[in-house]
Amino acid sequence: SEDYSLLQYDDLSSSPQLFTPMSPYGVDLPIQTTEDVLFGSQFNQPKELPTDFSVDLSFLPDITQDNKEQNLSEYGHETQKELDGSISRNEDSSVFMDESSLSYLDATQPSPEASGMCPPMTPMTPMTPVTPASESSGIVPQLQNIVSTVNLACKLDLKNIALRARNAEYNPKRFAAVIMRIREPRTTALIFSSGKIVCTGAKSEEQSRLAARKYARVVQKLGFPAKFLDFKIQNMVGSCDVRFPIRLEGLVLTHPQFSSYEPELFPGLIYRMVKPRIVLLIFVSGKVVLTGAKERSEIYEAFENIYPILKAFKKAS
Amino acid sequence: MAARGCCPSCGSAALVEDAHYAQQQLVCAACGCVLAEGLLTTTYTEEEHLREVTYSQSTGQKEQLSRCLQRGIRRVRDICKVLQLPTVFEETAVSYFQRALQHTSFHLVSLEKKELLGGCCVFVTCRQHNWPLTMGTICSLLYAKQELFASVYLSLQKELGLSVPALSLADLVKTHLNSFRLFQHAADIPAPFVEDKEKMVARTMQIVELAGETWLVTGRHPVPIVTAAAFLSWQSLQPAARLTCTFARFCKLAGVDLPPPAHLRLKELLEILLRMASKLAWLRVFNMDKKTVVKHIGDLLQHRIFLLKNAFCLEDEEEQCATALSEGSPSSPPAAGGAAQEKGHPLEGKRQREGSPRPLLPPCLINPRKRLRTAALSASDSAITGDEPISDSEIEQYLRGPEEVRAFRKAKAWQ
């Protein structure tokens, strides 16, 4: 079985470290390593601290060493906050952190190391270069839209579908597909006569998959032999707010190869990041839109890459 | 035919035209020195008229270029000539155009887009040399829709990987004011409205810089800002005579367009100036309003650094005080030592009077539009795995019953 004592986190010297050393890690910490639950819980602060720490971890997926390192190096600071919330009960109340501030921690906070309760942790070798937690933003981009496609592998009679489905609209003169909507998850689908579906509007990958399955079911119930092949997430859009105004004209001067800022055309700066290959729309208000991702991690990585650049700008102005 | 001149080697005046094989030569009859050789010509008519046939024509260089490319290049050169750009720009623009047309994404576009492509190349060249050309100008030259121009421009930038520096506002002020008609006396312009160009340019630049420092420029179209700044500077140079003139009238007299956002920019500029005026010692006694503050723009601009610092609390102080309030930590470093006192209490500041400092932020942050914030994923949503079972009843709610289908079919039959 996995040795969870290896679940250390890099460079958290400036973040409050609240765990008691090395004691049965696996038992003490309700670690949720599946990404979506991790981030879902960011927005879902439990009202009370969980007092029961005996957790059955057998549900955790098999994590290979690579996966683990990557997950932890990238999301180490996120899980850190999870731990903070749950462990602080064991510590002095002076280091207790308010639940609501967990999501937006500015990581340049003083650490309670002063109180002398943090043991040195063995750092793991990260797969990707880790930004020290003192610079990590503490802001998590929120996914706004997921676009996915799936192949039903059968030809469809769009007129028939539009006739027999309540939630469908079909105007062949304008567009050669049926536009269908479902309420839960609230999404829209474009259904083509070739049997391919484009599903948009979901807020998470799982929602998108569930929605696509529901559309496939509708088509099935209408009498077509629909399958569910090659489901693929094509694009993910996220957004967040850095909470300070940004001098776009300065940013385009320091990063001309990546930035395109044309106030005559569009009020935001278009930043084409190379690694990961994400397009960011940066606005003067500090709001950032990230798009072009095939995976959630790309959005988070892109934001962590841009945040220090934006922050440097803020001080310079 | 009689040859002219003297032979350079022997000085003899006896020069004859002779043919060496088929090549015409000008030879000295005395010493045999060849003075000039005939030019290679391609057509008999050219030879007859003794006109030089240029290299590009004789080597078929032009024929190698497609007609479309030739036409495009000619158009690019014409645009450069109309804008009176230096020849260097012309060459650069033509080379960009040729490079661009080779790309698959531009090779097969419509003629309209190819014409826009030429304009885009000129535009990019100008911007790279910091020549303040706006998209509006190019679009009007090309009779193009700005959205189409924008899409061609962005794809050009991406395909050729060009880095285009931002438009320099200072240069834009100069070029924009060049088109104003208020610098010379004319029949339709009242005498007190005529202004000295240098003074107006200088003051407009200062106001535009002020707008830049106070976040009025970032993200906004530059021309309305310059127009509003020009109006304010013009009014302030002779307020007595000009305060009664409206913005619209000013633009009409100056012979320029009044872009719709300019009114808002004017309002924002006046708000900034009023706040600054409230900090100027000898103006505090007056009740300033939008009209009267114009009279004092000169003073305000002169002391703008001091006034900006006092009229607005800087944004990093705002952020510091936000974290200070939430954490109460003494170790977070204050941005400016002296201002540390204020930042803890931005709202209950020392200046309790009307001119209490507001944060220096872009207008979109000061007056946020009420927007429906999309709620974050709820607990139930985030627990979705994507593999949940789908109930029949849920799907059936989306399907029409047979009577409904019949009724719908009947209704549709009317269409």
Task: Give the model confidence (pLDDT) of B153-173 as tens digits.
Answer: 888 888 888 878 778 888 889
Residue A203 contacts B where some CB pair is shorter than 8 Å: yes
pLDDT at B305: 85
Asked if residues B227 and B176 have their Cβ atoms less than 8 Å apart, the reply is yes
Q: Of B309, B340, B310, B308, which is closest to residue B324 (Cα–Cα)?
A: B340
- Chain B residues within an 8 Å CB radius of A214: 390, 394-395
- Judging by DSSP bridges, how do beta strands B358-359 and B312-313 pair with one another? parallel
pLDDT at B134: 86
Q: What is d(CA A110, CA A94) in angstroms, rounded to the nearest whole number?
A: 12
What is the 8-class DSSP label of residue B355? T
pLDDT at A26: 40
Vertex B225, ends B223 and B230: CA angle to 5°? 95
Q: How confident is the model at residue A34 (pLDDT cuts 50, 70, 90)?
A: very low
Q: Out of A165, A248, A317, whose CB is closest to B219?
A: A248
Q: What is d(CA A41, CA B382) in angstroms, rounded to the nearest whole number?
A: 8
Q: Give the range among B29-38, B52-61, B285-294, B332-341 with minimum mean pLDDT.
A: B332-341
Question: To probe the interface with B, which of A150, A206, A281 has the most B CB atoms within 10 Å?
Answer: A206
pLDDT at A23: 42
Indicate yes or no: CB of A249 within 8 angstroms of CB of B217.
yes
**Residue B182 is encoded by which pair of tokens?**
């208020």
Q: What is d(CA A154, CA B54) in angstroms, rounded to the nearest whole number?
A: 65
Asked if residues A178 and A196 have their Cβ atoms less than 8 Å apart, the reply is no
Distance from CA of B180 to the nearest CA of A (A): 21
pLDDT at A235: 96
Q: For residue B413, what is the enclosing H or E element?
A: helix B402-413
Residues 107-126 of A with CB under 8 A from B: 108-110
pLDDT at B62: 59
| φ, ψ dihedrals at A27, nearest 5° | -90, -40
Q: What is d(CA A188, CA B393) in angstroms, rounded to the nearest whole number?
A: 20
Query: Residue A207 above 60 pLDDT?
Result: yes
Q: Give the range among A159-173, A210-224, B183-197 with minimum mean pLDDT.
A: B183-197
**Residue A172 is encoded by which pair of tokens?**
């062949």
pLDDT at A40: 39
Digit-coded pLDDT (tens) for A164-189 = 999 999 999 999 999 999 998 999 99
Distance from CA of A103 to the nearest CA of B (A): 12
Q: What is d(CA A104, CA A78) in angstroms, rounded to the nearest whole number?
A: 11
Residue A310 contacts B where some CB pair is shorter than 8 Å: no
Three-state DSSP state, A229:
strand
Query: Residue A16 above 60 pLDDT?
Result: no
Q: Between the CA atoms of B62, B68, B73 and B76, what dihedral angle is there, to the nearest 10 degrees?
A: 170
CB atoms within 10 A of CB B178: 10
Q: Out of A43, A166, A245, whose CB is closest to B361?
A: A245
Q: Of A229, A201, A212, A221, which is closest to residue A161 (Cα–Cα)?
A: A221
| φ, ψ dihedrals at A65, nearest 5° | -60, -40
Asked if residues B362 and B219 have their Cβ atoms less than 8 Å apart, the reply is yes
Asked if residues B146 and B136 have their Cβ atoms less than 8 Å apart, the reply is yes
Query: Residue B315 above 70 pLDDT?
Result: no
Q: Count CA atoms closer than 13 A to A250's CA, side-chain side.
A: 16
Q: What is the mean pLDDT of residues B104-122?
A: 83
Asked if residue A185 has a cis previous peptide bond (ω within 30° of 0), the answer is yes
Query: Residue B2 above 90 pLDDT?
Result: no
Q: Give the range among A94-98, A110-114, A159-163, B85-89 with minimum mean pLDDT.
A: A94-98
pLDDT at B309: 83
pTM of the model: 0.66
pLDDT at A294: 95
Which residue has tokens 């996915």? Answer: A148
Q: How confident is the model at residue B47 (pLDDT cuts 50, 70, 90)?
A: low
| φ, ψ dihedrals at A191, nearest 5° | -110, 120
Distance of CA A38 to the CA centre of its chain: 9
Q: Out of B220, B222, B315, whose CB is closest to A244?
A: B315
pLDDT at B50: 61
**Residue B183 is encoded by which pair of tokens?**
């610098």
Amino acid occupying residue A299: I
Which residue from B minimizes the CA distance to A100? Answer: B326
Query: Residue B46 above 60 pLDDT?
Result: no
The residue that leads in pLDDT, A21 or A224, is: A224
Q: What is the mean pLDDT of residues B114-118?
A: 87
Query: Residue A295 above 90 pLDDT?
Result: yes
**Ordered alpha helix ranges (H), A41-110:** 65-87
Q: What is d(CA A191, CA B39) in angstroms, rounded to the nearest whole number?
A: 70
What is the 8-class DSSP label of residue A115? G
**Residue B181 is encoded by which pair of tokens?**
């008609």
pLDDT at A148: 97
Beta bridge partner(s), residue A170: A178
Indicate yes or no: CB of A267 within 8 angstroms of CB of B219.
yes
**Residue B82 is encoded by which pair of tokens?**
């109309």
Beta bridge partner(s), residue A240: A288
Q: What is d(CA A228, CA A216) in angstroms, rounded to the nearest whole number?
A: 7
Query: Residue A151 above 90 pLDDT?
Result: yes
Q: What is d(CA A29, CA B63) in angstroms, rounded to the nearest whole number?
A: 77
So what's the ipTM on this one? 0.71
Residue A277 contacts B where some CB pair is shorter than 8 Å: no
Helices (H) and strands (E) in chain A, counts: 7, 10
Three-state DSSP state, A193:
coil
Asked if residues A184 and A170 have their Cβ atoms less than 8 Å apart, the reply is no
Query: Residue A67 above 70 pLDDT?
Result: no
Residue A105 contacts B where some CB pair is shorter than 8 Å: no
Indicate yes or no: CB of B381 within 8 angstroms of CB of A213.
no
Q: What is d(CA A200, CA A196) in angstroms, rounded to the nearest whole number?
A: 13
What is the 8-class DSSP label of residue A165? B
What is the 8-class DSSP label of residue A289? E
Q: Of A138, A130, A176, A182, which is closest to residue A156 (Cα–Cα)?
A: A176
User: DSSP letters along B217-255, please?
Assistant: STTS-HHHHHHHHHHHHHHHHSHHHHTTS-HHHHHHHHT
Q: What is d(CA B365, CA A245) in angstroms, rounded to the nearest whole number?
A: 8
Q: What is the mean pLDDT of residues B366-383?
A: 69
Q: Give the range among A68-82, A208-222, B132-146, B150-164 with minimum mean pLDDT.
A: A68-82
Distance from CA of A121 to the nearest CA of B (A): 24
pLDDT at B368: 78
The residue that leads in pLDDT, B192 or A101, is: B192
Radius of gyration of chain A from its Cα atoms, rounded to whole angstroms: 23
